[in-house]
Amino acid sequence: MPLELFNTLSGKNEPLFASDGHALRFYCCGPTVYDYGHIGNFRTFLHVDVLRRAARLNGLALHHVMNITDVDDKIIRNASAAGKPIGEYSARFERAFFEDMDALNIEQPEDIARATENIPGMVSLIERLASEDIAYKAEDGSWYFRIARFPGYGKLSGKDLEGIEDGARVDLDEYEKDSARDFALWKATKPGETSWETPLGPGRPGWHIECSAMAMKYLGNSFDLHAGGEDLMFPHHENEIAQSEAATHEPFARHWFHVRFLLVEGKKMSKSEGNFFTLRDLLLKGYRASAIRFLLLSVPYRHQLNFTFDGLIESTNAVDRLRTFNDRIRKSTWPDTPPTDDSLTSLIRKGDLDFTAALNNDLNTAEARAAIFDVLRAVNTAADQSRLTRFDAEETLALLNKFDSIFAVLEDRDAELTRAALTWAEAEGRMADVSPEVLETFGTGSLTDAGIDALVAERTQAKQQRNFARADAIRNELLEKGILLEDSKEGVRWKRK
């Protein structure tokens, strides 16, 4: 079956395809770079990453655009408090965002669109709306979208705004407008604020107009898919549809993809609850980037994930099992004979089919994971019983490669990423946030990967020379530094606790 996704606009699963016959054109609302991204943000970007990877697995070429909102009220307030220009202030958090994306193995889009680099396009779009009397200028110089002139307003979220009276607070801005339902397109300058001189008057763009102008610049008036978190469905995505379709008289995005919120230990994530975590917070507590990725993808995107620390430990163990299994199958020598167990071959192939079917059924990551672990258990048992042949090992490796093209957790960069987080904490004066275990393992004088490999080789040589006292001493030394050794007939493997 082809890749099918739930379309928020139609309320049903629909096939995903490139309408221009060349590449899947899709847009994802990116971060507002006023602070470090939290794990709720990254759950959305991770599921968009799975969408990218699954589309490519289905043979689709990609043209993915993501915006960076580098001017808005929060950025202006925070930059002013820090005594910095907004460009300097936002650039710091944009760099951090892409560092965190890399740590979580999230692929970058084909195009990155920054709001401050696209002001002329936003102005032109507002002028088009003004020419049809859909945009109007308020007394303070701000421009608004007249919702009453767009009959289809609410078709994405299903909200009916007819009963809302003027004076109600719908769009969270502080500017004058004719109706409570209208939203800001252009915000007139306030004293001390960053602004642009334009035909609309001095000011800066409203949040919603940014995405419409940039999506249409890179992808055309109509494109295949628009993605984002469920919190953006209303009013942000609703407003994007209204202002875009009112200007072009064409459908804006054919397909809408929304990722649900997560809870943390059963509660909504908030700083007041003490359960608000950035990726860096978790790395400094000693959790691995790969395990965080695996946990955030463990529940399908349309279901709410309850992020727990017990779940993070289980995710760590699951990634370890996968890596150990991958190493065993990849590094061992298996009999070069025809398969003797047809049921094993059939099970591996069924696992492949089940994995692909789960992904193509609205990106069901939970069922896709389960299919791989079914194969892992069966193949490990066959290997233990000397029933695994080179033929079945190769089919298993092909399936593991397919699995990792989506989940991307088999490569072990965890120690490197934790060290990078520790270096960041030192530079930012955040050492109080570092757990004792991270300090002990990765702090000054901790072993590098090359150093561990050297000690493992020395231990192997000591055992061959029957110097068991030295071999035991090396094992104990490594254990004290959080390094676990696993002896097997395929050789010695090590991992950090």
84 versus 448: which is more confidently predicted? 84
pLDDT score of 11: 98
Please report which confidence band the pLDDT of residue 175 belongs to, taking 50, 70 and 90 as the band edges: very low
Mean pLDDT of 69-85: 93
Q: Are residues 215 and 89 located together in one domain of the fold?
A: yes
Residues 235, 116: one domain? yes
Rounded distance, CA 225 to CA 66, Å? 12
Evaluate if residue 121 carries a pLDDT over 90.
yes
Better-scored residue on pLDDT, 338 or 190? 190
- Same structural domain for residues 99 and 248? yes
What is the tally of structural domains in the chain? 2
Among 35, 26, 13, 167, which Cα is nearest to 96's?
35
Claim to verify: residue 235 and residue 300 sit in the same structural domain: no
Pair 195, 281 in one domain: no
Average of per-residue pLDDT across 71-100 = 95
Q: Is residue 495 part of a domain?
A: no
The reported pLDDT for the residue numbered 441 is 81
d(CA 255, CA 225): 4
User: According to the model, what pLDDT value does residue 169 have?
Assistant: 34
Tell me, yes or no, whether 217 lies in a domain: yes
Among candidate residues 214, 238, 259, the one where a domain is terminated: 259
Q: Is residue 438 part of a domain?
A: no
Domain boundary among 202, 226, 259: 259
216 has pLDDT over 80:
yes
170 phi, psi to nearest 5 deg: -105, -60
Whole-number percent of the chain with pLDDT over 70: 94
Domain membership flag for residue 402: yes
Task: Count CB atoms within 10 A of the CB of residue 6.
Answer: 18
Q: Which of 25, 384, 440 is nearest to 221 (CA)?
A: 25
pLDDT at position 404 is 98
Q: What is the pLDDT of residues 339-396, one digit of tens each?
A: 777 899 999 999 999 999 999 999 999 999 999 999 999 999 999 999 999 999 999 9
Q: Give the number of other CB atoms < 10 A from CB of residue 287.
A: 23
Q: Is there a domain that residue 418 lies in?
A: no
- Predicted confidence at residue 177, as pLDDT, reads 62
Residue 407 backbone dihedrals phi, psi, to 5 degrees = -85, -30
Q: Both 306 and 223 in a single domain? A: no
Q: What is the rounded average pLDDT of the residues 165-189?
A: 66
Which tokens hold the place of 129? Answer: 């709306």
The predicted structure's pLDDT at residue 488: 80
**For residue 454, how many other CB atoms are within 10 A of its CB?**
12
- Note the pLDDT tens digit of each residue in 231-285: 999 999 999 999 999 999 999 999 999 999 999 999 999 988 889 999 999 999 9
Q: Are residues 205 and 287 in the same domain?
A: no
Task: State percent of the chain over pLDDT 90.
Answer: 79
60 and 187 assigned to the same domain? yes
- 226 and 118 together in one domain: yes
pLDDT confidence of residue 133 = 95
Residue-level pLDDT at 178: 61
User: If phi over 0 gives left and psi between -120 and 50 gives alpha, with beta otherwise, what is residue 132?
Assistant: alpha
Quick check: 259 and 48 in contact, CB under 8 A?
A: yes
The arithmetic mean of pLDDT across residues 305-313, rounded, is 97
pLDDT of residue 497: 67
What CATH number corresponds to the domain at position 43? Answer: 3.40.50.620
The reported pLDDT for the residue numbered 170 is 42
Return the pLDDT at 168: 35
Supply the pLDDT for residue 176: 59
Which residue range is the domain that position 162 belongs to? 4-259
Considering the chain, what is the average pLDDT of its residues?
92
Domain termination site, one of 209, 228, 259:
259
Question: Is residue 444 included in any domain, yes or no?
Answer: no
pLDDT tens sequence across 415-466: 999 999 999 998 999 999 999 989 888 875 556 676 788 788 889 888 888 8
Average pLDDT over residues 15-43: 97
Q: Are residues 135 and 281 in the same domain?
A: no
Determine, yes or no, domain membership for 41. Answer: yes
Domain CATH number, residue 396 = 1.10.730.10
CB 482 within 8 A of CB 440: yes
Q: What are phi and psi of 3, to 5 degrees?
A: -70, 120
Residue 312 domain flag: yes
Q: For the range 231-236, what are the long-range contacts, defined as Cβ-Cβ under 8 Å and sequence gap of 24 or more?
A: 231/261, 232/29, 232/258, 233/8, 233/156, 233/157, 233/258, 234/156, 234/157, 234/159, 235/170, 235/171, 235/183, 235/208, 236/29, 236/207, 236/208, 236/211
> With contact defined as beta carbons under 8 Å apart, do 275 and 267 qualify?
yes
Q: Are residues 232 and 311 in the same domain?
A: no
**Span 144-157, mean pLDDT?**
96
pLDDT at 166 over 60: no
Q: 179 and 314 share a domain?
A: no
